[in-house]
Amino acid sequence: MDNTWRLAFLMILTLHSTTIVAEFGVVGGVGVGVGVGNGGGGGVVWVGGGVNNPQPSGSSSESKLDGAYTALQAWKSAITDDPKKILGTWVGPNVCSYKGVFCDFTEDEMGASASAFPVVAGIDLNHANLQGTLVKELSLLTDMSLFHLNSNRFAGTVPDEFRDLNSLEEFDLSNNQFSGSFPSATLYMPSLIYLDLRFNYFSGTIPQELFYKNLDALFLNNNQFEGEIPQNLGNSPASVINLANNKLSGNIPASFGFMGSKLKEILFLNNQLTGCIPEGVGLFTEIQVLDVSYNTLMGHVPDTLSCLQDIQVLNLAHNKLSGELSDVICSLRSLANLTVAYNFFSGFSQQCSRLFFRNVGFDVSLNCIPGRDMQRPQPECSVIPGGSLSCLRIPTPKPLVCGSLAVSASKHTNSTSSSP
């Protein structure tokens, strides 16, 4: 994922700060893994308490900082345990000196840089072990672009008033004890591009509006979301989507088969998904990690998976998939791990046999493959699950023309033809 904009933001903070005092906050990477761990972070390294002793430049500054003071003191009152004594610095009106609060200079409403004044630009209380709740007054921090609370003990719900956080780009509540339905306030944050709600107790359904937002990273794993995945999943422009370890049911939306090339990692593992892997998966994407393991998917694997030339990890394990693994899948050039264990595959091609010698992790145990060790007992293989299931499988040309490859070739052709 491209971190250029985050680095630029950090540089701006550094240039405008008169003194930076190192404190405690280091934000973790964006890594996805397979839905385990203790949450993430937005990829920015925060240091210090922002701008040291900023000088107000007029009524706009005073109004902004007065609002910030009101918001932060209200929140302080709602925090019931502070074992690291972080909030001991949250005293007095100079909010830019508070631990975990970071300020930047912004221009006045007339755009005059000479009249720049400090505002609260970010809050990073990752790993602070604070206990408490969020308060509606935090919605007064309308200049804030990062809000990181990874690995604390916050509970309750996200106030609806948070929809007023028009500048917020990163919202990380991971590894806390939040509950209730999906925080709908996030759907109204126009600048939001990083949303991390993993390792909480959110429940209910995922709103379809979420996949219309211009997000780059979406982490909903390790909650209690249920119901079907919205059919417009394929509309999301995100590069990373993690839906693992919930209670989602129904089919994987057909639109997943037509997601754009920006998508790099998507995880569905350990839900209650049924039906087929959608036809078209791989045609237009450049996925590097695809994990649908620990569901109840059935039917044959679509040939379009052969278009995933950048795929490194393909995990189909612990489903009820059947048929044979074809050459086109086993010959994927970037493949580092192919796991199909605990399914009902009845065979694999010669190309798949070569994976054992390519230093590729290849697990075919507990299937129905004749002549292989560690397969299912024959009685289990006599009736293939989903035998009456009709998966949409469109006959594909040989060789298969992949959408992303065709687009790349088209771009190359156009650039070549336009060269002098």
pLDDT at 108: 57
Dihedral sign for Cα atoms in the order 239, 139, 73, 59: positive
Distance of alpha carbon 40 from alpha carbon 33, whole angstroms: 11
Distance of alpha carbon 270 from alpha carbon 266, whole angstroms: 13
Asked if residue 326 has pLDDT above 80, the reply is yes
- Fold equal for 60-202 and 223-398: yes
Least-confidence region, from 19-33, 304-318, 319-333: 19-33
pLDDT at 413: 35
Asked if residue 193 has pLDDT above 70, the reply is yes
Asked if residue 221 has pLDDT above 90, the reply is yes
Distance of alpha carbon 21 from alpha carbon 140, whole angstroms: 26
CATH architecture of the domain formed by 223-398: Alpha-Beta Horseshoe (3.80)
pLDDT at 20: 30
Asked if residue 324 has pLDDT above 60, the reply is yes
Q: How far is CA 382 from the centre of its chain?
A: 40
Asked whether 73 and 47 are in contact (CB, 8 A), the reply is no
Please compute the mean of the pLDDT values over residues 107-135 and round it to a whole number: 82
Q: Which long-range contacts (CB under 8 A, 24 or more apart) does 182-186 make?
A: 182/206, 182/207, 182/210, 182/225, 183/157, 183/158, 184/160, 185/158, 185/159, 185/160, 185/161, 186/158, 186/162, 186/210
Please compute the mean of the pLDDT values over residues 187-214 and round it to a whole number: 98
pLDDT at 14: 39
Asked whether 368 and 380 are in contact (CB, 8 A), the reply is yes
**Per-residue pLDDT band at 163 (split at 50, 70, 90):** very high
User: Tokens at residue 204, please?
Assistant: 């209910």
Asked if residue 144 has pLDDT above 90, the reply is yes
**Per-residue pLDDT band at 360 (split at 50, 70, 90):** confident
Mean pLDDT score across all residues of the chain:
82
Domain spans, the chain: 60-202, 223-398
Asked whether 162 and 186 are in contact (CB, 8 A), the reply is yes
- First vs last Cα of the chain: how many Å apart? 34
313 sits in which H/E element? strand 313-315
Please compute the mean of the pLDDT values over residues 59-82 and round it to a whole number: 89
CA angle 98, 103, 106 (to 5 degrees): 155
Using DSSP bridges, classify how beta strands 117-124 and 101-106 pair: parallel, antiparallel or unpaired. antiparallel
Coil vs helix vs strand at 231: helix
pLDDT at 392: 60
**Per-residue pLDDT band at 115 (split at 50, 70, 90):** low
Distance of alpha carbon 345 from alpha carbon 322, whole angstroms: 4
| Residue position matching structure tokens 């993690």 | 242
Least-confidence region, from 50-54, 69-73, 165-169, 413-417: 413-417
> Concatenated DSSP letters for 184-210?
GGGGG-TT--EEE--SSEEEEPPPGGG
Name the more confident of 37 and 40: 40
Least-confidence region, from 12-16, 140-144, 294-298, 299-303: 12-16
pLDDT-above-70 percentage for the chain: 75
Per DSSP, what are the bridge partners of residue 53?
none
Name the more confident of 252 and 358: 252
Q: Which residues contact 364 (CB under 8 A, 6 or more apart)?
A: 325, 340, 341, 345, 348, 372
Identify the CATH number of the domain defined by range 60-202.
3.80.10.10
Residue type, 226: E
If you ran DSSP here, which 8-state letter would residue 12 be given?
A: H
pLDDT at 63: 77
**Per-residue pLDDT band at 176 (split at 50, 70, 90):** very high
Distance of alpha carbon 95 from alpha carbon 104, whole angstroms: 12
Please compute the mean of the pLDDT values over residues 6-28 and round it to a whole number: 37
Least-confidence region, from 21-30, 76-85, 335-344, 352-361: 21-30
Least-confidence region, from 102-106, 157-161, 383-387: 383-387
If you ran DSSP here, which 8-state letter would residue 173 be given?
A: -
* Rounded (10°) CA dihedral 38, 40, 45, 49: -70
CA angle 294, 300, 303 (to 5 degrees): 110
